[in-house]
Amino acid sequence: MLFNSLTFIVFFAIVLALHYSPLSWRIKKISLLIASYLFYAAWNPLFIILLWISTVVDWHVARWIYNEQDERKRKGLLWLSLATNLGILGYFKYGGFLLENWQAMMASVGIDYQVPEWSIILPMGISFYTFQTMAYSLDVYFRRAQPARSFLDFSLFVTFFPQLVAGPIVRPGHLIPQFTTPHYARVNQFFWGMALVILGLFQKVVIADGFLAPIAEAVFDAKSAVGFTDAWLGTFAFAGQIFSDFAGYSTTAIGVALCLGFSLPTNFRFPYAAIGFSDFWRRWHISLSTWLRDYLYIPLGGNRMSNTRTYINLMLTMLLGGLWHGASWNFVVWGGLHGSFLAMERFCSARWGSLAVVSQSWFRVVMALLTFLAINITWVFFRAADFTTSGNMISAMLGFAPEDAATPLPYLYIIEVCVIMALLLLAHWKMRDTNLEDVVARFPAWLVTAVLAVMTIAIIFTQGTGNAFIYFQF
């Protein structure tokens, strides 16, 4: 089920009616759990079984880990949880990828190995809820948290529909306690939640799908090579599209949860105003970057080891972060580029970070622009369907486009990209040290209401077939 669909509007209205009805809190939690399963089942009912497996295994394993004193047995139980979750994730998401690469490796040594046809469907959002349930087992193992007291609360934590298929990836200590006592939105919280829903859908439906997606598709799906200008414009369009699409989902999810009285963590903090890549990852997909930091980078040794080992830890974390996004070498390259940029930033900061020029405003602006341009280089590998496309795009962006490049983009597309991205960058830069709620509070209520009304009208007029969110594929 998509947020940007009429079906969801009806679904959400029913959920709200049940949540604010005069029923017991336990009955309301059961109705939320059933609603969450229905939300996921609207895509493919059979894959609810995977949710059940993760839920039952991690519920029991975490309790066994907590009660066990023998460290070897505790570690064995943890591996049972990790093997179950990663096994499901590996089979459905990476099985075909591994078979294809095995065939290529065999062919390189002269063995004609025929790969069996892989027709397994990738369950929607499997990477998100897998990482969420793994965090629960890991937190209990490291004694950061106690097991949930209620199986119902834990089940709802795993399947809570606003963030089930595309995050934010919520930590158990943040969400499970909210289910233990009745939660309802106050009037101002409810209206703020609805405002976030409108803003998120506006980002997705109007900006991402309505304006920027056709431009990115025209460039990245072109049948012939594109020129220098079009390559950059198409990449800028995708940069705006993926932010508006994914931040739009997160904003909508946070708004939906808030209407029910629940809090979800912020997942984006104006990332295109980042000064450096470490700053970017403190602002982009925050729930994933902090997950990778706490459950991968720090256990590997983080920055407590030698400089060489720290660089290796950075690269391993970002390579696996890239592979988390999809079973493709393009995603591995994307993660590798981010790891390389983070390592170079760390190297430069250690040597020249104390210079006076670093704190000057003009230098910060220049670094922010360079960061944004470098991020766009990495987006090419994220968006391109294969290495041939990404290679052609990078060549064009570096000024090596062939003379027979494709016909330039229409002037309307060029204007749309330039205007939207200029406004987006300006908004991110102006708001980089604040938050949306504080900014909105500075304006009169009538103006905020008018803006939300215009957004709602734009959503209604722009809404087409209801394109899925980009991160649903992960």
Residue numbers annotated as active site: 325
CA atoms within 13 A on the CB side of 321: 27
Find out whether 366 and 410 touch, Cβ atoms under 8 Å.
no
How many whole angstroms separate alpha carbon 268 and alpha carbon 283?
5
Find out whether 198 and 456 touch, Cβ atoms under 8 Å.
yes
39, 241, 334 from 326: Cα distances, Å: 23, 18, 11
| Residues in CB range of 63: below 8 A, 6 or more apart | 147
Cα 344 versus chain centre, distance: 24
How many whole angstroms separate alpha carbon 449 and alpha carbon 451?
5
Q: Can you state the percent helix, strand and coil of the chain, rounding each to 5?
A: 75, 0, 25
How many whole angstroms separate alpha carbon 421 and alpha carbon 417?
6
| Residues in CB range of 380: below 8 A, 6 or more apart | 235, 390, 393, 394, 397
Compute the chain's Rg from CA coordinates: 23
DSSP string computed for 240-273: HHHHHHHHHHHHHHHHHHHHTT-------S-GGG
Cis bond upstream, residue 168 (ω within 30)? yes
How many whole angstroms separate alpha carbon 291 and alpha carbon 429?
26
Find out whether 208 and 239 touch, Cβ atoms under 8 Å.
no
